[in-house]
Amino acid sequence: MMKKQAIIVANWKMHKTAAEAASFIKAVAASVQDGAPDSLLFAVPFTAIQAAVDAASGSSIKIGAQNMHEAEQGAYTGEISAAMLHEAGASFVILGHSERRRLFGESDVRIRAKVKRALASGLRPLLCIGETLEEREAGEIEQVLERQLESAFEGLSYLELERLLIAYEPVWAIGTGLSATPSMAQEAHRICRAFLEKFGAGFVPLLYGGSVKAEMMRELMAEKDIDGVLVGNAALQLGSLLQIINWRNL
């Protein structure tokens, strides 16, 4: 009998209006029974945060954002601050997603500043790390993960580290339908866990992301260092997300 709890995070990316988000989350909340064994979080578009928070009220579902600017405030046209997200009801924020790193040029240094700012503003950072296919083929997984973690952790106190969530998302597995096998994911998670332990923070939850589907959940969650999943595509349809949420019954 497996007792381990899963942290299941839906990353909606640039999908769903406020109205769509509200009806989806109400439907999920209605079908998640009281005392659900897992934690359920939704990273929604900025404009859907407030509606999603209202829809989730009375349930244990948590709502968060997918990005933010690192400055407290200022002349940054089109950007959004941590305080704005917090006020809208976000409790966490995804930072350093590979789409942000790759498509929007976010550097490790910038992501570090975002992690700091999120923590200072009362948001829990969900830091994403992961290697590209070239880095994997060159045997550089360990160096890449350690570099990304080390950079994000610089200057954080133990109390701040305690509030992090980390997602290992191999870049080649995101949105490609090509998932890492549970043992590949476990190997990367083992590297991250060992690194966290050096800071006395081995308890920080480590999630796997990259083409997660319901049928992989049992095997993924059976791995020692996998504490949950970050789900993109399969979190957009109610049916496939509910299957992931109900992974114990599959």
> Where on the chain is the footprint of ligand PGA (CB under 6 A)?
11, 169, 174-175, 209-212, 230-234
Half-sphere exposure (Cβ direction) of 109: Cα atoms closer than 13 Å: 0
Min dist. Cβ of residue 8 to ligand PGA (A) = 12
* Greatest distance between any 2 Cα atoms in the chain: 54
Cβ nearer to ligand PGA, comparing 11 with 81: 11
- CA dist 48 and 8 (Å) reads 19
Cβ nearer to ligand PGA, comparing 194 with 238: 238
* Catalytic machinery residues: 97, 169
Strands (E), the chain: 7-11, 39-43, 62-65, 92-95, 124-129, 165-168, 206-209, 228-231
Residue number with the shortest CB distance to ligand PGA?
A: 232
Cβ nearer to ligand PGA, comparing 82 with 231: 231
Cβ nearer to ligand PGA, comparing 121 with 211: 211
Q: Per the structure block, which two tokens stand in for 36? A: 């659900």
Q: Per the structure block, which two tokens stand in for 15? A: 């999908």
Q: What is the DSSP string of 70-83?
A: SSSSSS-TT---HH
- CA dist 64 and 90 (Å) reads 4
Q: Per the structure block, which two tokens stand in for 68? A: 């933010």
Cβ nearer to ligand PGA, comparing 120 with 238: 238
Min dist. Cβ of residue 202 to ligand PGA (A) = 24
The answer to whether residues 238 and 229 touch, using CB atoms and an 8 Å cutoff, is no
- CA dist 213 and 208 (Å) reads 11
Min dist. Cβ of residue 38 to ligand PGA (A) = 17
Min dist. Cβ of residue 158 to ligand PGA (A) = 28
Min dist. Cβ of residue 12 to ligand PGA (A) = 10
Work out the angle between the directed axes of helices 18-31 and 238-245 (0-180°, nearest 10). 40
